[in-house]
C-alpha cells in the first residue's frame, strides 16, 4: 500500500525520488555553497569521514533538534577525523539565519534545486529533502546510508558508527 501511495505522489509530482545510491560505491562529488559563502567540494575532504545529513527545512522543530545535537557533538566528530555537513534546499539567507538564531556550529550547505540530494538518493517532497544521512569514509566511498532518521538519535548513532569503524581500523 505504501509503495502505491509513493507511486501516486511521484506521478503527481509531489515526491521527486532521488537516484539510487548504494553503500560501497564511490561517493558522487559535488560543489555547494556553505553558510559562510565558501564553495564546498566533496573531494576537498577526502582523508576524513564525511557526514552528509539531509534535512527538510531550517528552523522547524525537528530540524532544529537535529542540528543542535550535531553541534553539541561536533568536537567529538572532530576527534574522529569527521566533518559534518547539514544539507537542505533552503537558500543561503535562510540557513544563515537558522545557524545564527540557534548558535549552531556545524556547516550548512544550500542545495536549492535539490540536485545533490537527488544524487544521494534523497527524496524531495514538495521541494524539501527527506531526513536521510550518508556517511562517506576517508577513501571517498559511501560507507553507510540511513533513510528516514530520527532527528535526536541520528547524530549519536552516526558518531558511534564512526568511532567503531575507527577503532576497528586502528586495531588492524
**Which residues are part of the catalytic machinery?**
63
Q: Phi-psi region for residue 31, left (φ > 0), alpha (ψ -120 to 50) or beta?
A: beta
Cα(51)–Cα(84) distance, rounded to whole angstroms? 5
Find the largest Cα–Cα distance for the chain.
51
Q: Which residues contact 155 (CB under 8 A, 6 or more apart)?
A: 53, 66, 69, 70, 72, 73
Strands 82-88 and 107-110, sheet pairing: parallel
The label of the residue with cell 522543530 reads 61
Residue 28: is it exposed, middle or buried by C-beta count within 10 angstroms (0-12/13-18/19+)?
middle
Amino acid at each position: 500500500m505504501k509503495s502505491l501511495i509513493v507511486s501516486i505522489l511521484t506521478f503527481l509530482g509531489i515526491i521527486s525520488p532521488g537516484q539510487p545510491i548504494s553503500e560501497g560505491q564511490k561517493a558522487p562529488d559535488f560543489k555547494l555553497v556553505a553558510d559562510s559563502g565558501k564553495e564546498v567540494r566533496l573531494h576537498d575532504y577526502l582523508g576524513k569521514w564525511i557526514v552528509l545529513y539531509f534535512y527538510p527545512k531550517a528552523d522547524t522543530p525537528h530540524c532544529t533538534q537535529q542540528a543542535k545535537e550535531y553541534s553539541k557533538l561536533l568536537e567529538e566528530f572532530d576527534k574522529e577525523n569527521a566533518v559534518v555537513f547539514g544539507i537542505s534546499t533552503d537558500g543561503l539567507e535562510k540557513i544563515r539565519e537558522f545557524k545564527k538564531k540557534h548558535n549552531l556550529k556545524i556547516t550548512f550547505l544550500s542545495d536549492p534545486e535539490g540536485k545533490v540530494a537527488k544524487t544521494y538518493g534523497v527524496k524531495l517532497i514538495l521541494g524539501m529533502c527527506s531526513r536521510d544521512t550518508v556517511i562517506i569514509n576517508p577513501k571517498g566511498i559511501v560507507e553507510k546510508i540511513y533513510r528516514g532518521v530520527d532527528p535526536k538519535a541520528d547524530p549519536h548513532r552516526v558518531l558511534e558508527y564512526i568511532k567503531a569503524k575507527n577503532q576497528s581500523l586502528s586495531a588492524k
